[in-house]
């Protein structure tokens, strides 16, 4: 690695930080601008119900920067400017900005107006003004220069990594599972995702934590508190009793009939109501594994975000390990770069970051279910590598896959993925039963015990609640529609698949550069859609490689690999269809099957890449893989920040706006 090139990278990163990212600091450099200050005595104020208008008259000078100052303001507060310049006698408005006491640049605006400004109006929060928090407005003051060391290091790191990818020998070698340097690089990539995961999870927690409580505990929540309390008392239903108004409803499952009733006082939203009690119909396993033991040990209640974080960390690690096991098994030669791009795509497209932007019971049961599915597949892959401990690994894999159903019932379909392997093994054992008659017995026991034991417990659990061993309670939901009468909705599948797989992200010029989409094609029937940010194929374009499945099946000689890819696509689409028919379209629903379609896309792409003889064609495909990986990672970060309810913005506004103004240096 040449020192001169490293120096160039550092110089470019310094240039970007000092010049480009601080461009607003040079706003007053060229020109002689008069600095004017206006305090409360210089301003005419008029108020409305929520805002105060501070009007500044007779400015009569060119204005290139604006600054507002408050006193003793701890929470972020918004302000907006209206101005009258040489183009009009009226007022134009500027974009709203958020003031953060600790973040100096949030107090300034770099203005590009026409000629001299005659008058200006500033709208601020009425309560702040009434309490005397407003200090002054300053025009044409130099915006302070800020060398943001974190931003500099991130840019430097990205540039340095890109340079290493292009020039270092290790990145241009074939992948080898015996190469420790390559392993450390892959661990480094996972570490980056873990840092992003920690950032999003920490500042997007929806749990209510009282002052003085541990950041790991919470005082409210029907899943991690009320349900835990009920289980400790030996009850499967929640202690909350329905109100008289709720009991008087002719049909409590009719969402329209419940209009006017409180979701917390009269009944509990998104619980299952049966025989006068409210039940948690979401999977019980995360409660039994995390929330109940934590409460028994500490006497406090574990935050949902902590549980979500634990499972998410394990998922990211498992995605890496499963990817490498599959590559080692089915691809003898593969460029290390392709492995890097595949790992980035897989981790980003899995929507794990999104799930941690909304740490509720909705997300935790999905994330926990995915963890157990992936852990089960990992053990199954281990059983395929060596005969030693094969049946132990099959037992552990089957147990994890069975347990996933106790998180989310639709995860039962993921067990279909291992059927071809188990059937083949069963046939082999039958053919060779004379040589080793115990292998067949071990196989049957290894698979049967986990599914029968977990299935029996779930059937008992369902019967104890709803008097039906196969009823998980979804039809008794008190939710957005009447699930009791909704019935089969297979007619909605085409429009649902189009939405869940191919919704194009709404890219906007404001941070975090992506907006919700509730748009649906012409459909004359009930279909639930809420706050979609993008379909699986549009968030992880590698999935489009799945359309090459016919070519893949014709060209690929490895039957086991063909079966795996076809099963990933088939099961992924099956879960997508069922999710669409039973639930609808919501970003979190995609988490169940996104990883399957991404895995399939990656394996098809790599297989076709390996079939190419022309080196130029291979380079083009590698660039495509690189672009899709970078795109998937970037959009996954912004999707994680945006989420369904914009939690980071609402719950951690300081961190949100500091992140925004650090990235959006032009604001």
**Do residues 434 and 286 both lie within one domain?**
yes
Domain presence at residue 364: yes
pLDDT (tens digit, 9 = 90+) per residue, 283-341? 999 999 999 999 999 999 999 999 999 999 999 999 999 999 999 999 988 999 999 99
- CA 51: distance to chain centroid? 35
- Residue-wise pLDDT for 390-409, tens only, equals 999 999 999 999 999 999 99
Answer whether residue 123 is part of any domain. yes
Q: Taking residues 529-552, report their average pLDDT.
A: 95
Given the structure tokens 């040589």, which residue do they identify? 435
Cβ atoms within 10 Å, residue 533: 24
Average pLDDT score over the chain: 91
State the average pLDDT over residues 16-31.
91
Q: CA torsion 434→439→442→447, rounded to 10°?
A: -110
520 domain-assigned: no
Beta strands in 118-181 (DSSP E): 119-125, 134-139
Q: 26: part of which helix (H) or strand (E)?
A: none
Report the alpha-carbon distance of residue 651 to residue 474 in Å, rounded.
30
Res. 208: pLDDT tops 70: no
**Residue 363 pLDDT:** 92
Question: How many domains is the chain partitioned into structurally?
Answer: 3
DSSP codes joined into one string, 488-499: --GGGHHHHHHH
279 & 371 share domain:
yes
pLDDT at 206: 65
Q: What b/e readout covers 591-616, taking b as 16+ CB neighbours within 10 angstroms?
A: bbbbbbbbbbbbbbbbbbbbeeeeee
Residue 295 domain-assigned? yes
- pLDDT confidence bin for 619, thresholds 50/70/90: very high
**Averaged pLDDT for residues 71-87:** 90
Give CA–CA dist 79/246, Å, rounded. 43
* pLDDT tier for residue 603 given thresholds of 50, 70 and 90: very high
Rounded distance between C-alpha atoms, residue 184 and residue 279, angstroms: 46
Query: What pLDDT sits at residue 645?
Result: 85
Confidence of residue 86 (pLDDT cuts 50, 70, 90): confident
Query: Among residues 479, 507, 537, which one ends one of the domains?
Result: 479
- Looking at residue 29, its pLDDT comes to 86
Helix, strand, coil share (%) of the chain residues, nearest 5: 55, 10, 30
CA nearest 138: which of 7, 27, 38, 245? 38
Determine, yes or no, domain membership for 647: no
Same-domain check for residues 120 and 38: yes
Whether residue 16 is found in the same domain as residue 28: no
Residue 341 pLDDT: 97
Q: Is 476 exposed, middle or buried (0-12, 13-18, 19+ CB in 10 A)?
A: buried
DSSP letters of 251-296? -TT-TTTTTTS-TTTTS-TTSEEETTEEE--S-SHHIIIIIHHHHH
Q: Around 526, how many Cα atoms within 13 Å sit in the side-chain half-sphere?
A: 12
Average confidence (pLDDT) over 227-251: 92
Say whether both 127 and 76 belong to one domain.
yes
**263-282: average pLDDT:** 90
* Sign of the torsion angle spanned by Cα atoms 646, 652, 657, 658: negative
Residue written as token pair 């609808």:
584
How far apart (Å, rounded) are the C-alpha atoms in residues 631 and 441? 49
pLDDT in the model for residue 89: 82
Burial of 496 (0-12, 13-18, 19+ CB in 10 A): buried
Is residue 92 within 8 Å of 74, Cβ to Cβ?
no
Which tokens hold the place of 467?
Answer: 């008097």
Q: Answer yes or no: do 298 and 385 share one domain.
A: yes
Q: Determine the Cα–Cα distance for residues 282 and 161; give it in Å rounded to an integer.
A: 42
The answer to whether position 486 is within a domain reads no
422 and 294, same structural domain? yes
Look at residue 638 and tell me if it is in a domain: no
| Mean pLDDT calculated for residue range 512-533 | 85
Contacts by residues 512-517 (CB-CB < 8 Å, ≥ 24 positions apart) = 512/638, 512/641, 512/642, 512/660, 513/638, 514/635, 514/638, 514/639, 514/642, 515/642, 516/642, 516/644
pLDDT of 525: 76
Percent above pLDDT 70 for the chain: 98
Span 443-450, mean pLDDT?
95
Residue 441 has pLDDT above 80, yes or no: yes
- Give the per-residue pLDDT at 583: 83
pLDDT score for 37: 93
pLDDT top residue among 205 and 532:
532
% of the chain residues with pLDDT over 90: 67
Say whether both 245 and 288 belong to one domain: yes
**In terms of domains, do 50 and 156 share one?**
no
pLDDT digits (tens, 9 = 90+) for 624-663: 999 999 999 999 999 999 998 889 998 888 999 999 999 9
Residues 127 and 239 in one domain: no
Is residue 9 domain-shared with residue 52, that is, in the same domain?
Answer: no
Q: What is the pLDDT of residues 573-586, one digit of tens each?
A: 999 999 998 888 89
Reply yes or no on whether the pLDDT at 454 is more than 90.
yes
End of a domain among 479, 508, 527? 479
Indicate the length of the chain as a whole number.
Answer: 667
Closest C-alpha among 101, 103, 93 to residue 51: 93
470: confidence class by pLDDT, cuts 50, 70, 90:
confident
Q: Rounded mean pLDDT of 78-83?
A: 93
CATH no. for residue 45? 2.60.120.260
Structural domain for 15, as ranges: 3-22+148-167
142 secondary structure, DSSP code: P
Q: Is the pLDDT of residue 214 over 70?
A: no
Local structure of 52: helix, strand or coil: strand
Q: Is the pTM of this model over 0.75?
A: yes
Residue 277 phi, psi dihedral angles, 5° rounding: -125, 155
pLDDT on residue 28: 87
Give the pLDDT confidence of 45-72 residue by residue, as tens digits.
887 778 899 999 989 899 999 999 999 8
Do 115 and 226 have their domain in common? no
Whether the pLDDT of residue 528 is over 90: the answer is no
Residue-wise pLDDT tens digits, 105-115: 999 999 988 88
Q: What is the pLDDT of residue 508?
A: 92
For residue 365, pLDDT beyond 90: yes
pLDDT at 484: 73
Is 530 within the bounds of a domain? no
């Amino acid at each position: 690695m040449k020192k001169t090139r490293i120096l160039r990278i550092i110089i470019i990163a310094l240039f970007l930080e000092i010049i480009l990212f601080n461009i607003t600091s040079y706003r007053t450099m060229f020109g002689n601008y008069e600095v004017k200050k206006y305090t409360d005595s210089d301003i005419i104020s008029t108020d409305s119900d929520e805002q105060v208008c501070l009007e500044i008259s007779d400015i009569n000078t060119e204005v290139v920067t604006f600054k507002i100052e408050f006193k003793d303001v701890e929470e972020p507060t918004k302000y907006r400017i209206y101005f009258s310049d040489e183009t009009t006698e009226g007022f134009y408005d500027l974009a709203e900005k958020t003031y953060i006491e600790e973040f100096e640049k949030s107090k300034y605006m770099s203005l590009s107006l026409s000629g001299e400004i005659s008058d200006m109006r500033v709208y601020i929060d009425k309560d702040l003004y009434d309490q005397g928090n407003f200090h002054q407005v300053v025009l044409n003051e130099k915006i302070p220069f800020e060398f943001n060391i974190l931003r500099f290091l991130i840019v430097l790191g990205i540039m340095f990594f890109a340079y290493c990818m292009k020039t270092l020998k290790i990145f241009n070698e074939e992948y080898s599972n015996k190469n420790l340097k390559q392993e450390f690089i892959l661990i480094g990539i996972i570490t980056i995702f873990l840092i992003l995961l920690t950032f999003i999870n920490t500042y997007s927690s929806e749990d209510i934590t009282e002052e003085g409580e541990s950041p790991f505990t919470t005082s409210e929540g029907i899943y991690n508190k009320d349900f835990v309390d009920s289980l400790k008392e030996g009850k499967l239903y929640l202690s909350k009793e329905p109100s008289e108004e709720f009991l008087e409803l002719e049909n409590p499952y009719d969402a329209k009939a419940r209009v006017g009733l409180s979701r917390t006082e009269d009944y509990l939203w998104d619980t299952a109501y049966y025989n006068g009690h409210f039940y948690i119909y979401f999977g019980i396993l995360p409660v039994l594994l995390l929330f109940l033991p934590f409460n028994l040990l500490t006497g406090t209640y574990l935050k949902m975000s902590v549980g979500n974080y634990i499972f998410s960390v394990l998922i990211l690690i498992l995605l890496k390990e499963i990817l490498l096991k599959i590559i080692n098994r089915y691809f003898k030669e593969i460029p290390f770069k392709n492995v890097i791009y595949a790992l980035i795509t897989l981790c980003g497209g899995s929507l794990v970051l999104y799930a941690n932007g909304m740490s509720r019971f909705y997300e935790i049961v999905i994330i926990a279910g995915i963890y157990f599915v992936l852990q089960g597949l990992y053990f199954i892959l281990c059983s395929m590598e060596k005969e030693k401990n094969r049946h132990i690994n099959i037992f552990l894999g089957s147990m994890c896959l069975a347990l996933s159903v106790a998180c989310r019932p639709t995860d039962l379909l993921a067990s279909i993925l291992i059927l071809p392997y188990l059937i083949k093994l069963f046939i082999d054992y039958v053919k060779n039963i004379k040589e080793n008659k115990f292998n067949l017995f071990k196989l049957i026991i290894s698979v049967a015990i986990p599914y029968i034991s977990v299935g029996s417990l779930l059937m008992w659990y369902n019967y104890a609640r709803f008097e039906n061993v196969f009823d998980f309670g979804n039809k008794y939901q008190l939710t957005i529609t009447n699930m009791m009468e909704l019935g089969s909705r297979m007619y909605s599948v085409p429009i649902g698949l189009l939405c869940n797989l191919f919704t194009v992200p709404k890219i906007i010029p404001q941070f975090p550069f992506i907006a919700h989409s509730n748009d649906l094609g012409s459909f004359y029937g009930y279909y639930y859609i809420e706050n979609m940010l993008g379909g699986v194929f549009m968030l992880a374009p590698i999935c489009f490689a799945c359309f090459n499945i016919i070519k893949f099946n014709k060209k690929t000689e490895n039957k086991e690999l063909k079966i795996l890819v076809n099963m990933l696509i088939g099961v992924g689409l099956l879960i997508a269809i069922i999710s669409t028919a039973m639930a609808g379209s919501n970003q979190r629903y995609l988490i169940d099957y996104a990883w399957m379609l991404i895995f399939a896309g990656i394996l098809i792409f790599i297989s076709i890449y390996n079939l190419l003889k022309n080196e130029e064609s291979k380079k083009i495909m590698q660039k495509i893989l690189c672009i899709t990986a970078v795109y998937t990672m970037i959009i996954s970060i912004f999707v994680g920040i945006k989420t369904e309810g914009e939690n980071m913005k609402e719950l951690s506004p300081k961190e949100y706006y500091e992140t925004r103004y650090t990235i959006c240096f032009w604001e």
